[in-house]
Structure 1
Amino acid sequence: MNKKVLVFTETKASALRQVSLEALSLGRRLAGEGTLLAAALGSKAADYAPTLGEYGADQVLIVSDARFNEYQSDAYRHTMVRLIERTEPDVIIAGHTANMKDAAPGIAARLGYGLITDCTQVEFEGGELIYVRPIYAGKAFEKKRFTSGKMFVTIRPNNFKAEPSPADAETIPFEPGDIDLRTVVRDIVHKSTAAIDLLEANIVISGGRGVKKKEGFAPLQELAAVLGGAVGASRGACDEGYCDYGMQIGQTGKVVTPDLYIACGISGAIQHVAGISNSKVIVAINKDPEAPIFGIADYGIVGDMFEIVPLLTEEFRKRQAN
């Protein structure tokens, strides 16, 4: 393939999101001998250029503007449209994040690009690109292709490998011009203080109603700290007030795809399973041997999570020490 590919990157807490690097690696693969462009927005956009070049970007379009430090629909859509009109890419790639769920459909419709969202795999079949995405809450997968040459794809975090492919990236300043803002974000209050984003975590330890109270998450947080993972929760735990809804994983929460998912005191309702079904390895800890979670777990431990989790934490500490 020799295509011009444009990747829209995103940041969180002043750092590039992992899914943006994954999108760049996919973009390099799809571009072939063509051109891979990366767009970076925000007052520190120029600081990200070296990393974007390390992951294959031939050109980095820099929009150094504080209006893009936090996501604002009007500003982002306006600027993304102008970037696309200027560069005329064959393929646009972005992470399947809350921001792009909002922005991508309107942009694709306005510019006449086909849109396939939440892709977990890209395959070549019969000389065509085939995009794989989950449907029916992860119970099945569908394969889709574009019928025209203009493609807009969003990819699910943690499903594509971010592989360095160093390129001598050219930085190009881009001025978005006047933007008619109907709404302005003045401040964002973050309820979750987790250092690792659930969507991008390689290891997730989650608690359900079995944690019994807010303090019941303490052993899970300790295990997560030892493993370098993030802590999540089932809707049941959130509904009981044991934790914030920002930690919720499931059909009505966040969909995670870690290498290792440890479910503690979670029964395994279908709504929760929908949010974890693409995890590479699932470990279930539950006192009830008949809990549905064991039906989808790769490994199961029948027992009290308050006894088992500390034992796991201690064992992992010993292994790390050795």
Structure 2
Amino acid sequence: MTKILAFIEQRDGQIKKSSFEAAKTAFDLSQKLNATVEAVCLGNEVNNIDAVGGFGISKINFLKNPALEKYSSAYTDLVTDFINQNNFDIILFSATSLGRDLSPKVSARLNCGLAVDCINLDIVENNIIATRPIFAGKALLDLKLNSEKKIFVLRPNVFSAGTPNENKAEVNTINVEVSEPKVKVTEISKSEGKLDVAEADIIVSGGRGMKGPENFKMIEELAQLLGAAVGASRAVVDAGWRPHSEQVGQTGKTVSPTLYIAIGISGAIQHLAGMRSSKFIVAVNKDKDAPIFQSADYGIVADLFEILPALIEEIKKLKQ
């Protein structure tokens, strides 16, 4: 019988939202393929790890070691060995920074096919047909992996996790040994309280049109009012106005929020490649010929320094 494995990512002891999407997708596939499904998570202390049961997975294998609190090359060895020892055929990762880094390494170790940035998985004649964007999002490719084992990496916010039920997964804790890593993480710095653009449901992004880093205070204020993440174009990041973690685009993060607000972004093809799959796109730019308007659902041709303050004030009134 086919065996499916969902990789569950945790950060600081909390399971990431995108992992629940991977869990639900793995369960849905198991129903269609008449397969068994499990999950695997690596770490030391993880809160509510049995919550994956609410998305259809009845068993999660927890590979535990204090050294796994920080990501290291040990993940590759442990995940690969676990897959081989338990004969899993289909493995699902989420296309987070960790998933994008880990999945090709595991694929190389397993000598198996890898489909990255999938936005849909269909079953045709008992085969999984994956759909992924190509040519910077201008076209979609349907593909089938012919290898014995198969790895699919899912774009976050595309596959719905749905509403979980009250089921709890059985937690199979496995204490593992971790070899001394060749590279050690000595410190992790992160922006406290800020949403990750890769997983946010609403994103407010700024571009060169903001004219300077000091003006991003308006972007941050609008994002806070909307409960959104702050994004940025490559030009802004290259200029040092915003951190790379906020960059949206071909050389940054690929996002699929429900609402993407592009402020002062012209819409270069590299940027569009990272956000074209957003469900609704709103663009504000004073250039009526800016490429961003070709992808936008709603466009405002105006000076952003007039529109942003007015928009912020109106939202404040609505929230009151």
TM-score, normalised via structure 1 length = 0.92
Cα distance in 2 between the residues matched to 1:129 and 1:106: 22
Partner of 1:60: 60
Structure 2 residue runs without a partner (length 5+): none
Do 2:265 and 2:285's aligned partners in 1 also have CA atoms closer than 8 Å? yes
Cα distance in 2 between the residues matched to 1:260 and 1:96: 19
Partner of 1:29: 28
Cα distance in 2 between the residues matched to 1:91 and 1:121: 15
Do 1:158 and 1:257's aligned partners in 2 also have CA atoms closer than 8 Å? yes
Cα distance in 1 between the residues matched to 2:234 and 2:175: 43
Partner of 1:288: 287
C-alpha root-mean-square deviation of aligned residues, in Å? Answer: 1.9
Shift of residue 168 of structure 1?
A: 4.3
Partner of 1:95: 94
Cα distance in 1 between the residues matched to 2:170 and 2:238: 50
Cα distance in 1 between the residues matched to 2:107 and 2:36: 21
Cα distance in 1 between the residues matched to 2:112 and 2:176: 21
Do 1:35 and 1:58's aligned partners in 2 also have CA atoms closer than 8 Å? no
Do 1:281 and 1:298's aligned partners in 2 also have CA atoms closer than 8 Å? yes
Cα distance in 1 between the residues matched to 2:5 and 2:99: 14
Partner of 2:172: 172
Cα distance in 2 between the residues matched to 1:286 and 1:31: 46
The Cα offsets for residues 192-228 of structure 1, whole Å up to 9 and x where unpaired, read as 4452110001111011111111121111111111111
Cα distance in 2 between the residues matched to 1:13 and 1:228: 22
Partner of 1:305: 304
Do 1:56 and 1:166's aligned partners in 2 also have CA atoms closer than 8 Å? no
Question: Would the alpha carbon gap of residues 264 and 274 (structure 1) be closer, same or farther in structure 2, given more than 3 Å must change?
Answer: same
Question: Would the alpha carbon gap of residues 188 and 302 (structure 1) be closer, same or farther in structure 2, given more than 3 Å must change?
Answer: same
Q: Aligned with 1:199: secondary structure?
A: coil
Is 1:316 the counterpart of 2:315? The answer is yes
Question: Would the alpha carbon gap of residues 282 and 182 (structure 1) be closer, same or farther in structure 2, given more than 3 Å must change?
Answer: same
Partner letter of residue 303 of structure 2?
D
Question: Would the alpha carbon gap of residues 300 and 236 (structure 1) be closer, same or farther in structure 2, given more than 3 Å must change?
Answer: same
Partner of 1:39: 40
Cα distance in 1 between the residues matched to 2:292 and 2:173: 51
Cα distance in 2 between the residues matched to 1:179 and 1:75: 7
Partner of 1:224: 223
Do 1:197 and 1:230's aligned partners in 2 also have CA atoms closer than 8 Å? yes
Partner of 2:212: 213
Cα distance in 1 between the residues matched to 2:314 and 2:199: 25
Q: Aligned with 2:254: secondary structure?
A: coil
Shift of residue 278 of structure 1?
A: 0.9
Shift of residue 39 of structure 1?
A: 1.2
Cα distance in 2 between the residues matched to 1:31 and 1:180: 37
Cα distance in 2 between the residues matched to 1:132 and 1:115: 12
Partner letter of residue 196 of structure 1?
L
Q: Aligned with 1:19: secondary structure?
A: helix
Q: How does 1:120-199 map to 2 (within 5 A)?
A: 120-163=119-162, 164-190=164-190, 192-193=191-192, 195-199=194-198
Q: Aligned with 1:185: secondary structure?
A: coil
Question: Would the alpha carbon gap of residues 13 and 221 (structure 1) be closer, same or farther in structure 2, given more than 3 Å must change?
Answer: farther
Q: Aligned with 1:295: secondary structure?
A: helix
Partner letter of residue 8 of structure 1?
F
Partner of 2:250: 251
Partner of 1:17: 16
The Cα offsets for residues 40-92 of structure 1, whole Å up to 9 and x where unpaired, read as 211213x33221122222111112222222211x2101110222123211211
Do 1:256 and 1:278's aligned partners in 2 also have CA atoms closer than 8 Å? yes
Do 1:208 and 1:265's aligned partners in 2 also have CA atoms closer than 8 Å? yes
Question: Which stretch has the larger CA shift, 233-242 or 263-272?
Answer: 233-242
Q: Percent identity?
A: 39
Partner letter of residue 65 of structure 2?
D
Structure 1 residue runs without a partner (length 5+): none
